[in-house]
């Protein structure tokens, strides 16, 4: 009976791992491929260890060169196993993975090690059940194998910041187990632990990092969003081209949990039937199919386009539960439209929620990625403008019909670019609102407006108050009233000099916070105006609910009055109702003398528009007020 019990245990470990890995679809990650190669080589290594033991035990019946070859092949496999462990340790570090000089040095070291093992003499020890090989060839193996193991440990130290903590720990534990087994066997050669130790190390690595279950979404059994990011990161790193279909579902189907789960599973099983694509579940209820480019021919785009038509037709039908879903589709024919996985995800996230009313599909091409790049650049520009104080206040005068004077103005944010040119608000305001930067901009604009009121003597020039816009995020900030009260105190202006504009078209998530802010500021003398009335979901209930004193008719509503008979009837009735509520009205967007005279006859209080003036810089606004109010007063 030969001493192979430990090796057999290692072989069983490896076979179990192979069984579990083969049960799952492969993602195709580079680390996954290297791990599978390691597993294959380690399994062969354990098998060859058993074969070499049998060869030594039957050396009396076998030619000497056969025994030597079998033993040396085992030693080479042991070396290759250690080498692949080293490769696995740096497989995700692009600098090392793509460094040709580094790879050349590794090949030279590996070649020299194999040459030493194959050319140096080898001998054997066989006494009863104790069987092992020895000699210079074995010593060379036990010199080079630890070198690769130590090198693997060094990789986790030198490049640990490019690995996850889990991977660092897994590799280190793997190498420690292997080195301990190698040291024990080198000191006590009768204890054949190396193969078993390697198998235990692989089992640890499988449990920590390479378990295929870790790549799956638990609900659908498909590849997860995290795996999607890992996979695309690899695709872009190797400059691989692919096309993709993204299925965009509503975040909330408003169904019971059991029905939603059933639909998700049914949907994922249908999409998984397209065998030439990898299926990922993205955020919420979205899915993505990724089609890799076939060798030599660009078949991915053709195949994905054909599949897209089939998928769209299927999603127009109901699922087994009888539920119809309003699914949308994003299609990227060629991944060259984006430059990285981050940009891919940005393009996907930016487009999934902005479909037109009857739009079912969007093609993500160069223009989609260009928009994302410009968006990111604008975010950088806004942040820099905030830090370098490049936001300015422009003022659009507001005319009071009853006194025939300009008694107010709306403060508007303008951003000065690094080149000194003005950036229009439609370029930066939506992005600032989406990123939350609008709060910082709003505070800067409000502070500068207060300073203008104080320093430019606006009260003496006939300006009773300045209107300042509030963003949605500001309205929902519980600290708004405290911050704005402090800004007014710092500027030493009266709260009566300020009217804050809230937007009726906004859907506030925390309406009570806005009301609390309004009440606190009104208690010290600030007034409020309802801006953009006539847009969005206009209704008079909003006016009733909000303690505002002024209602501002949106420019489009005013212009429609002169173009559409129905709009005329609605606006006349609205003016009558608002006046009966005791509120003042500002008509925005008045552009011609004919419009001016008609608005005057309607009972509207204030007029704002290009007929009088476009928004003006602070200096030009002061000149305008000095000129107009003095002339009118004369």
Pick from 136-150, 200-214, 482-496, 532-546 the range whose average pLDDT is largest: 482-496
Helices (H), 319-424: 341-351, 366-387
User: For 616, phi and psi rounded to 5 degrees?
Assistant: -120, 150
pLDDT band at 259 (very low <50, low <70, confident <90, very high): confident
Q: From residue 15, how far is each of 31, 129, 198, 199, 202 by CA, in Å?
A: 20, 25, 13, 10, 12
Token match 């295929």: residue? 212
The Cα 78–Cα 49 span in angstroms is 9
pLDDT at 2 exceeding the cut of 50: no
Digit-coded pLDDT (tens) for 586-596: 999 999 999 99
Digit-coded pLDDT (tens) for 351-398: 988 888 788 999 998 888 888 888 999 999 999 999 999 999 999 999
Q: Which residues, listed in sequence order, are joined to residue 216 by a DSSP beta bridge?
A: 223
Do the Cβ atoms of 486 and 431 come closer than 8 Å?
Answer: no
What is the per-residue pLDDT for 53? 83
Digit-coded pLDDT (tens) for 74-88: 899 989 988 988 898
Do the Cβ atoms of 427 and 594 come closer than 8 Å?
Answer: no
Percent of the chain beyond pLDDT 90?
45
The Cα 383–Cα 388 span in angstroms is 9
Tokens of 4: 């192979």
pTM here? Answer: 0.70
pLDDT at 172 exceeding the cut of 70: yes
pLDDT at 321 exceeding the cut of 70: no
pLDDT band at 114 (very low <50, low <70, confident <90, very high): very high
Which of 30-39, 105-114, 130-139, 537-546 is predicted with the least confidence, judged by mean pLDDT?
A: 537-546
User: For 291, phi and psi rounded to 5 degrees?
Assistant: -110, 110
Tokens of 343: 């940009």
Q: Between 24 and 416, where is the model more confident?
A: 416
The Cα 480–Cα 602 span in angstroms is 36
What is the per-residue pLDDT for 235? 87
| CA 47 centroid distance within chain | 46
Tokens of 580: 């009966």
Three-class SS of residue 152?
helix
| Mean pLDDT of the 504-516 span | 72
**Phi-psi sector, 349: left (phi>0), alpha (psi -120 to 50), beta:** alpha
Token match 């609900």: residue? 219
What is the per-residue pLDDT for 125? 76
User: For 391, phi and psi rounded to 5 degrees?
Assistant: -95, 135
The Cα 435–Cα 439 span in angstroms is 10
Q: What is the DSSP code (8-state) at residue 317?
A: S
């Amino acid at each position: 009976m030969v001493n192979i019990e430990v090796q057999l245990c290692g072989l069983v470990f490896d076979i179990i791992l192979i069984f579990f890995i083969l049960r799952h679809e492969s993602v195709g990650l580079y680390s996954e491929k290297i791990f599978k190669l390691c597993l294959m080589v380690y399994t062969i290594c354990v098998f060859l260890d058993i074969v070499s033991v049998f060869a030594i035990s039957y050396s009396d019946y076998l030619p000497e060169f056969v025994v030597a070859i079998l033993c040396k092949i085992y030693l080479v496999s042991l070396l290759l196993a250690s080498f692949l462990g080293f490769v696995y340790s740096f497989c995700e570090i692009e600098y090392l993975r793509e460094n040709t000089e580094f790879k050349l040095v590794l090949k030279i070291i590996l070649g020299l090690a194999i040459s030493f093992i194959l050319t140096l003499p080898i001998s054997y020890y066989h006494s009863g059940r104790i069987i092992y090989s020895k000699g210079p060839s074995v010593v060379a193996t036990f010199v080079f194998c630890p070198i690769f193991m130590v090198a693997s440990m060094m990789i986790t130290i030198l490049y640990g910041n490019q690995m996850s903590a889990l991977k660092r720990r897994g590799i280190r534990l793997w190498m420690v187990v292997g080195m301990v087994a190698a040291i024990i066997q080198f000191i006590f050669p009768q204890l054949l632990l190396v193969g078993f130790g390697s198998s235990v190390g692989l089992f640890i690595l499988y449990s920590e990092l390479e378990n295929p279950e870790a790549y799956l979404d638990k609900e659908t059994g498909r590849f997860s969003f995290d795996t999607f990011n890992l996979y695309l990161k690899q695709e872009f790193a190797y400059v691989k081209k692919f096309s993709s279909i993204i299925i965009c579902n509503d975040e909330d189907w408003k169904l019971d949990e059991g029905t939603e789960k059933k639909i998700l599973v049914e949907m994922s099983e249908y999409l998984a039937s397209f065998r030439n694509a990898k299926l990922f579940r993205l955020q919420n209820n979205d899915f993505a199919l990724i089609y890799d480019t076939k060798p030599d021919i660009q078949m991915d785009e053709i195949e994905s386009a054909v599949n897209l038509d089939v998928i769209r037709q299927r999603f127009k039908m109901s699922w087994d539960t009888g539920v119809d879903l309003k699914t949308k589709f994003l299609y990227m024919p060629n991944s060259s439209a984006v430059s990285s996985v981050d940009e891919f995800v940005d393009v996907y996230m930016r487009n999934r929620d902005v479909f037109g009313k009857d739009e079912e599909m969007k093609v993500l091409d160069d223009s989609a990625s260009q928009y994302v790049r410009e968006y990111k650049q604008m975010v950088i520009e806004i942040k820099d403008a905030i830090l370098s104080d490049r936001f300015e206040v422009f003022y659009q005068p507001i005319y009071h019909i009853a006194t025939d004077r300009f008694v107010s103005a709306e403060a508007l944010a303008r951003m000065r670019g690094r080149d000194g040119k003005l950036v229009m608000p439609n370029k930066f305001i939506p992005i600032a609102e989406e990123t939350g930067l609008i709060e910082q901009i709003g505070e800067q604009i409000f502070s500068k407006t207060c300073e203008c009121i104080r320093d430019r003597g606006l009260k003496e020039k006939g300006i009773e108050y300045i209107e300042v816009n509030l963003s949605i995020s500001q309205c929902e900030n519980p600290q708004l009233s405290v911050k704005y009260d402090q800004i007014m105190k710092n500027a030493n202006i009266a709260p009566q000099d300020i009217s804050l504009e809230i937007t009726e078209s906004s859907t506030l998530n925390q309406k009570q916070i806005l009301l609390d802010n309004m009440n606190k500021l009104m208690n010290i003398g600030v007034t409020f105006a309802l801006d953009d009335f006539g847009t969005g979901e206009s209704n008079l209930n909003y006016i009733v609910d909000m303690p505002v004193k002024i209602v501002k008719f949106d420019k489009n509503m005013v212009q429609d009055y002169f173009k559409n008979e129905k709009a005329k009837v609605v606006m006349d009735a609205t003016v009558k109702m608002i006046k009966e509520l005791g509120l003042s009205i500002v008509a925005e967007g008045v552009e011609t003398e004919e419009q001016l005279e008609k608005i005057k006859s309607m009972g509207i209080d204030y007029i704002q528009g290009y007929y009088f003036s476009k928004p003006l810089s602070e200096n030009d606004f002061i000149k305008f007020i000095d000129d107009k109010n003095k002339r009118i007063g004369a």
